[in-house]
Amino acid sequence: MTTTRRDILKGAGALTLASAIGAPMRVRAEGKVLKIGQLGVMSGPEASWGLVNKYSAMATAEMYNARGGVEIDGELYRIEIVSVDDRNDPKLTVSGAERLTGEEGIRYFIGPNMDTTATSVRPIAEKNQAMYIPYAFDRSLYTAPARNAILGMIASYQVAPVMYKILRDERGVKKVAFLARNDSDGLLQRDEAVKVAEGLGLEILAQDTYEPSVTDFFPVVANIVGQNPDLIVMSAVAPAHCPQIMRSAREMGYVGLFSSEAAQDIKIIREVAGEYGDGLVSIGGASTPEIRSAYMEDFIEKYNAVAGEWNDEAGTKAYALEMILMTLRRTGAAGIGDIALFQKAVDGFSERNPFLKEDAALTYVGMADYGQKRQIGVPMVITETKGGDFTTLSIGSVAS
């Protein structure tokens, strides 16, 4: 048998086909059931983004199901999570959304995780009358006439002005180099952040990019380290890549700060960056020990049971299912099948934030950025890595 180059191409085709085959996974429940979808990247290099969504939803569902379910209009609904892996491929995101909102009849789902996949879902969600909570920052998803998406976290362009101002005023940062992941999310975040940095009078030394498939950052960071910036901004950096960039830059003699407008994970930073893990300023969730409530502690415990270990990103992603359920309790049972009621409830929604120990209102926000409330009001917690831990640098919120 002779293997030719043609066969190699056939094999590559087969790889694509095999990748496309995937059945949705579900956490089954009995009795009256409320099905919630979760659609995102759960395999490949970005797997952690979607898996944290999945594990967070499962942990929240377990917390409710342990009490018999979520009470809506006096009746208990056990929560069933239906998960679909889109492998970060918009074609699979579309078929996954069709499956969730069509065959499964689901009206609320969490995800997707990227701009490309989140925008590909929009027509399906609008056609099948479903609400979804993406973790992508493209403004068009949340700005009218779009009405079906609710941003599940703080956008990079919301945190950048706060973060850079702190770094300029309190840490003496003057020269900035940008290193962006070369995809739509990375480039969008970099472009928005460059505008913010320029607005604050910071000098932009470089705007480099890297491929998401890069396996060694040592040659990638050589150029920007050579320009001796005070701050390296890593746009849309994956938790897997962030400590690699930090370690490579430090090994080349870089002594400045790093920043990321995406949530990172301290265990990965400890393991991969090791002694070079200090000096990263990034956005955290509601999970920093200083602010978390007993309810959040319970969530962390359930998350650990589901996923095997805690992931700091889950501090932000804990909010998605909780907000869907709290809003459905407002709309009543009719809202389970009618998203118009949900959309109406969003505007006036305000509950005590269960994840914070201090009394704070949890609302939908977004009027300032999107002209409508299409964002979960997750606290804006900016952290810095010091001695192998996240320390809180600032706590704020997005303008309502």
Partner 1 sequence: MEQILVNGAILAANYALIALGITLIFSIMNVLNFAHGQMFMFGGLIVYWTVAQLGLPYAVGLAMAAVAVGLIGMAFEVFFFRRVMRDSTREENTMLLAVGTALLLENAALSLFGEKQRGIPPIVTGVYRIGDAFLPANRALVFGISLVLIVAILLFVTYSKTGRAMRALAQDRTATLLMGVDTARISTLGFGLGAALAGIAGGLLITVSGVNAGIGTAISTKAFIMIMIGGAGVVSGALLGAVALGFIEAFGYAYLPGSLTYLMIFVALILFLLIRPQGIMGKPWG
Structure tokens that stand for 398 in this block:
């997005």
Alpha-carbon gap, residue 63 to 280, rounded angstroms? 33
Least separation in angstroms between CB 236 and partner 1: 13
Which of 209/293 has CB closer to partner 1?
209
Which of 274/337 has CB closer to partner 1?
274
Q: What is the DSSP string of 273-331?
A: IGGG---EEEEE-S--TTTB-HHHHHHHHHHHHHHSS--TTHHHHTHHHHHHHHHHHHH
Least separation in angstroms between CB 307 and partner 1: 7
Which of 76/240 has CB closer to partner 1?
240
Please state, in angstroms and as integers, the Cα–Cα distance from residue 121 to each residue in 43, 99, 129, 258, following that order.
Answer: 19, 12, 12, 33
Which of 178/364 has CB closer to partner 1?
178
Structure tokens that stand for 132 in this block:
């979804």
Per CB under 8 A, residues contacting partner 1 are 1-3, 5, 7-8, 10-11, 14-15, 18-19, 42-48, 51-52, 179, 182, 208-211, 213-220, 222-223, 239-241, 243-244, 247, 251-253, 265, 267-268, 271-272, 274-275, 307-309, 311
Which of 273/362 has CB closer to partner 1?
273
β-bridge mates for residue 233, sequence order: 178, 259
Least separation in angstroms between CB 209 and partner 1: 4
Least separation in angstroms between CB 47 and partner 1: 5
Which of 182/293 has CB closer to partner 1?
182
Which of 204/360 has CB closer to partner 1?
204
Identify the sign of the CA torsion 101, 102, 106, 107.
positive
Which of 145/215 has CB closer to partner 1?
215
In the chain the first and final C-alpha atoms are separated, in Å, by: 66
What is the Cα 136 distance to its own chain's centre?
7
Least separation in angstroms between CB 213 and partner 1: 4
Which of 52/197 has CB closer to partner 1?
52
Alpha-carbon gap, residue 372 to 28, rounded angstroms? 35
Identify the sign of the CA torsion 307, 312, 317, 319.
positive
Structure tokens that stand for 275 in this block:
């002694």
- Amino acid in the structure at residue 313: E
Least separation in angstroms between CB 334 and partner 1: 37
Please state, in angstroms and as integers, the Cα–Cα distance from residue 131 to each residue in 70, 108, 292, following that order.
Answer: 19, 5, 28
Least separation in angstroms between CB 5 and partner 1: 7
Burial status of residue 2 (CB atoms within 10 A of its CB: 0-12, 13-18, 19 or more): exposed
Structure tokens that stand for 138 in this block:
């493209």
Please state, in angstroms and as integers, the Cα–Cα distance from residue 3 to each residue in 8, 18, 22, 101, following that order.
Answer: 8, 20, 28, 43
Least separation in angstroms between CB 86 and partner 1: 14
Least separation in angstroms between CB 250 and partner 1: 9
